Amino acid sequence: MKKTKRTFMFSLLLSLIMITGCWDRVELEDIGIVLGVAIDESATKAAKKQEKEELKGQAKERKHILMVHHFIIPQEVEGKTRTGKNKPYSNVVNEGETIFEIVRELSTRVARPPNYEHLKVIVISEEIARSTDLRDIINFFLRNPESRRTIKMLIAKGKARETFEKKPPIMANPALKMAKMIENTKKTLRMAPEMTLGDMSEKLTSETSFVMQRVVTSKTGTKVAGATVINGKTHKMVGWLGEDEMEGLNWMSGKGKAGIVKGTDQKTGKTMVYEVGKMRSRIKPKVQGNNISFTVDIETEGSLREDWLEPGNAFKENLIKRAEKAAEMEIKRLTQKALTKTQKKFKVDVAGFGKQLSIYYPKVWKEVKKDWDKHFSKIPVDINVKVQISEFGTRGTKM
């Protein structure tokens, strides 16, 4: 009796393993590895027509999304059957009203189910970013257990799908290339800081305005530079920051890691190039009565890397001083430019002024928090820059 009971229990346990197991087994070579996703506004006539009809009927705006899945074709990357003639990737385009709908519709087009575990970049087009709440766009990816929160997010100038269509130089795959390029924030100040899916969702939820990296596709290839400004309130894009302005913004927020500053010597009008070693910026809020003001202290230490002066002898103290001065002026100009555009034109705070205010004056912050971006556009900001050149490379003179 006891023995049969035990056998019964055992077989029950065994069946538990045997029956439940294997249901989601799929071999690595049978999945479609998606490395990149581009989201565009649909431009087909049918979609436009449908949109119009719907607008008439429901007076409700409905967007049509066009989505590009950038699949990798492993055999073309490496493997015995590689010919070298075919592209090692393929972009599958389909459209629909929601992201998930599009993803599921994809199964009617490709044999291998898309797998987002290796998804590296999501590129959203300008059109979508300007017109649609970004929370809706990224919602699917946040819910999907396959997609990581470290997926890099980009906003494309023009059509997003174009970014995946150009075969890039040096690297074989456009998506991988872009993912690598985004990390180059260590080398230049002209890029906005990396924005991942997780960070983006955080910013959107907390309703803070922020900048995202911008990707531009031209005839010669794709370029990641400048930034897109996203308004935290509307969750939509408000405008671009050029490369100069981005540089200025990086100086202001102190988020840059390395880069160069091309200063102009006041005395001769010639160019001097300063390389950033360390940079630090401190935003200090000041509250007097009802007036809020900010002071930004930027301190940086680095080296003189190139000068177009004659004779340019760095052993003379004076030259270093002049170079410092030139860099300071340039940094100040860039920062001012970035500030003017974000504060006055877009009326958003993307450099973290609000955060500092909330730290120093929490009570004041509570009052202005609600319409912070609006308030911020009227607040005066002072900028102080201090540059210290501590070295000049392995040669001080030109000759």
Partner 1 sequence: MTSSLQRNLQVVREQIGHSPDVIFRQFSFCGTLWKAAIVYIDGLVDKTALHEQIMKPLMQEPTAAEKAKQLSDGAAHIKNWVINSGIPIAEIKEAHNLNDCILEVLSGNALLFIDGIDSGFILGITGWEGRSIDEPVTESLVRGPRDGFVETLRNNTAMLRRRIKDPNFTMVVYKVGQRAKKDLAIVYIKGIANEELVAEVKRRVERINIDDVPESGYVEQLIEDNYLSPFPQVQNTERPDRVMSALMEGRVALLLDGTPFALIVPVTFSMLMSSPEDYYERWLPGSLIRAMRYGATFTALFLPALYISLISYNQGLIPTKLAISIAATREGVPFPSLIEALMMEVIIEILREAGVRLPKPVGQAVGIVGGLVIGQAAVEAGIVSPIMVIVVALTAISSFAFPQYGAGIAIRMLRFGMMMSAAVLGLYGVILFFILINAHLVKLKSFGVHYTASFTPYRPKDWKDMVIRAPLMMMKQRPEMNKTQDRKRQ
CB of 78 to partner 1, least distance (A): 5
| Phi, then psi, of 265 in degrees rounded to 5 | -70, 130
Residue choice 22, 59, 170, 399 for contact with partner 1 (CB under 8 A): 22
Residue choice 1, 2, 12, 27 for contact with partner 1 (CB under 8 A): 27
17 binds partner 1 (CB under 8 A): yes
# of chain residues touching partner 1 (CB under 8 A): 29
- 174-208 burial, b for 16+ CB within 10 Å, e for fewer? bbbbbbebbeebeebbbbbbbbbbebbbebbeeeb
* Residue 345 CB neighbours (<10 A): 12
CB of 30 to partner 1, least distance (A): 9
393 binds partner 1 (CB under 8 A): no
At 186, list the tokens: 């260590």
E strands, 48-192, are: 65-72, 89-96, 114-115, 121-125, 152-157
Contact track, partner 1, 53-92, x by CB under 8 A:
-------------------x-xx-xxxxxx----------
122 binds partner 1 (CB under 8 A): no
- 290-326 burial, b for 16+ CB within 10 Å, e for fewer? eebebebebebebebbebebeebebeeeebbebbbbb
Residue choice 2, 24, 289, 315 for contact with partner 1 (CB under 8 A): 24
Closer by beta carbon to partner 1, 120 or else 157? 120
At 352, list the tokens: 């973290």
CB of 268 to partner 1, least distance (A): 50
Amino acid of residue 286? K
Closer by beta carbon to partner 1, 84 or else 269? 84
Distance CA 248, CA 254 (A): 10
Closer by beta carbon to partner 1, 148 or else 333? 148
Residue choice 50, 91, 98, 115 for contact with partner 1 (CB under 8 A): 115
29 binds partner 1 (CB under 8 A): yes
183 binds partner 1 (CB under 8 A): no
43 binds partner 1 (CB under 8 A): no
Half-sphere exposure of 276 (CA within 13 A, CB side): 29
25 binds partner 1 (CB under 8 A): yes
CB of 71 to partner 1, least distance (A): 11
At 323, list the tokens: 């170079």
Site residues (CB under 8 A) for partner 1, limited to 163-182? 176
Q: Which long-range contacts (CB under 8 A, 24 or more apart) does 85-89 make?
A: 87/167, 88/172, 88/173, 89/35, 89/164, 89/173, 89/174, 89/175
Chain contacts with partner 1 (rule: CB under 8 A): 17-18, 21-22, 24-29, 31, 33, 35, 72, 74-75, 77-82, 115, 117-118, 120, 146, 148, 176
